């Protein structure tokens, strides 16, 4: 279902870019423990697309998502997100940019255990200056939409893994960020819930000024993608365009 392309990110390219990464490197640790997680990675995500990233464990997928989202500093290279050069911003300005523009669904959910579900999902609105009653109203509506109506006042620890993941998804979407980044978003979800969430993400990606980037091993997700990027050993190795993915449901 995916055809390989030689992707050209020059300004002449017909597709406007949401994310443009050039030669980005990132190492963790020092001496013997030093790990070169990103080795001069080049990567693009277009406006209005859902992009899937695949690759073996440890190849740098989570690290790449984290530097794009502005949650992790990188050592060298350039990252533009919606034409904002992250490599030129001060940490405080990156935080501000992330707050407004990025929704991140973490592999480990990262929910706040002392807050109930409504409070957890309200956080991105509150830090963007929305008043609590309006924030909680919106959070409740989204929890309901994701099948968690009636659980609003529960703490995350009272929920199953799949339910916690849906709360993490609600929290990433509630402030309607231009970029949604998901690290394995369907891993703990049953088939039906996973499909519902992928449809929600695809609808978000259909906005011409937004994009959705999903890291996954789950081949049920591939049919929702516009393109697929393959990573290997700290770099992007291949980019695939998807063709007629609606016609090929169930064939992957
Ligand atoms: N905080 C960290 N400290 C030390 N090493 C790390 C850290 N995060 C990731 N790494 C290492 O960087 C490499 C890439 O990790 P990661 O981006 O998590 O890969 P993936 O998400 O593709 O499984 C791995 O070798 C991993 O062990
Ligand atoms: Mg990972």
Ligand closest to 59 (CA) is 1
57 lines ligand 1 (CB under 6 A): yes
Structure tokens at 139: 């959070």
Give the C-alpha separation, 144 to 35, whole Å. Answer: 42
Q: Pocket of ligand 1, candidates 55, 63, 215: which has the most ligand atoms within 8 Å of its Cβ, to mutate?
A: 63
Please give the share of the chain, as a percent, with pLDDT higher than 90. Answer: 71
22 has which bridge partners?
A: 78
Give the pLDDT confidence score for residue 3 in this predicted structure: 58
Indicate if the pLDDT at residue 8 is higher than 90: no
- Which distant-in-sequence residues (6+ apart) come within 8 Å of 10 by Cβ? none
Q: What is the mean pLDDT of residues 69-81?
A: 95
Which residue has the least CA distance to atom 12 on ligand 1?
Answer: 37
- Residue 37 Cβ inside 6 Å of ligand 1? The answer reads yes
Is this structure's pTM higher than 0.95? no
According to DSSP, residue 104 is labeled: E
State yes or no: pLDDT of 246 exceeds 50: no
Side-chain half-sphere exposure of 46, counting CA atoms within 13 A? 22
Query: Which residues, by Cβ under 5 Å, contact ligand 2, an ion?
Result: 61-62
Tokens standing for 106?
Answer: 């973490």
Residue nearest atom 16 of ligand 1, based on CA coordinates: 60
The token duo for 52 is 């899937």
Any ligand 1 atom below 6 A from CB of 125 = no
CA angle in degrees (0–180, nearest 5) for 162-163-166: 90
141-192 residue pLDDT tens = 999 999 999 999 999 999 988 899 899 999 999 999 999 999 987 667 778 8
**Can you say how many angstroms the Cα of residue 60 is from the centroid of all Cα atoms in its chain?**
14
Placement of tokens 């080795």 in the chain: 39
Is residue 212 a contact partner of residue 226, using CB atoms and an 8 Å limit? no
Residue 71's alpha-carbon distances to 24, 35, 42, 85, 96, in angstroms, are: 15, 19, 19, 15, 11
* Sheet of strand 179-183: strand arrangement: 2-4, 235-242, 227-232, 49-54, 211-215, 179-183, 102-105
Nearest CA-CA partner of 46 in 13, 95, 76: 13
Is 65 near ligand 1, meaning CB less than 6 Å away?
no
Ligand 2 center to 62 CA (angstroms)? 4
Distance 11 CA to ligand 2 centre (A): 31
CB 29 near ligand 1, within 6 Å: yes
- Regarding beta strands 179-183 and 102-105, do their DSSP bridges make them parallel or antiparallel, or are they unpaired? parallel
- Answer yes or no: is the C-beta of 59 below 6 A from any ligand 1 atom: yes
Q: Does the C-beta of 58 come closer than 6 Å to ligand 1?
A: yes
Q: Which two tokens stand for residue 39?
A: 């080795």
Q: Evaluate the CA torsion angle 100, 17, 78, 108 in order and state its sign.
A: positive
Strand partners, 228: 52, 240
Domains and CATH numbers, the chain: 16-242 (3.40.50.300)
- Chain segment 97-145, per-residue pLDDT in tens: 999 999 998 877 889 999 999 999 999 999 999 999 999 999 999 999 9
With 50 as the cut, is the pLDDT of residue 217 above it? yes
Name 130's Cβ contacts closer than 8 Å, sequence gap at least 6: 138, 175
């Amino acid at each position: 279902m995916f055809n390989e392309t030689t992707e050209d990110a020059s300004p002449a390219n017909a597709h406007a870019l949401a994310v443009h990464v050039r030669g980005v490197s990132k190492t963790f640790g020092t001496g013997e423990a030093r790990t070169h997680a990103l080795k001069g990675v080049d990567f693009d995500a277009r406006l209005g697309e859902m992009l899937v990233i695949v690759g073996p464990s440890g190849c740098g997928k989570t690290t790449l998502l984290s530097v794009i989202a502005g949650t992790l500093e990188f050592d060298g290279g350039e990252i533009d997100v919606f034409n904002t050069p992250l490599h030129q911003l001060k940490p405080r300005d990156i935080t501000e940019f992330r707050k407004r523009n990025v929704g991140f669904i973490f592999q480990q959910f990262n929910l706040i255990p002392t807050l109930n579900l409504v409070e957890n999902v309200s956080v991105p609105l509150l830090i963007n200056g929305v008043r609590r009653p309006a924030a909680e109203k919106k959070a409740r509506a989204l929890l309901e939409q994701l099948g968690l109506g009636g659980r609003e006042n529960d703490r995350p620890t009272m929920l199953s893994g799949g339910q916690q993941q849906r709360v993490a998804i609600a929290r990433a979407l509630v402030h309607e960020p231009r970029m949604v980044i998901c690290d394995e978003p369907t891993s703990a979800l049953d088939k039906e819930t996973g499909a519902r969430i992928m449809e929600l993400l695809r609808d978000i990606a259909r906005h011409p000024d937004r994009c959705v980037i999903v890291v996954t091993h789950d081949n049920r997700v591939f049919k929702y993608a516009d393109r697929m990027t393959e990573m290997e050993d700290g770099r992007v190795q291949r980019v695939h365009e998807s063709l007629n993915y609606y016609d090929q449901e169930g064939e992957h």
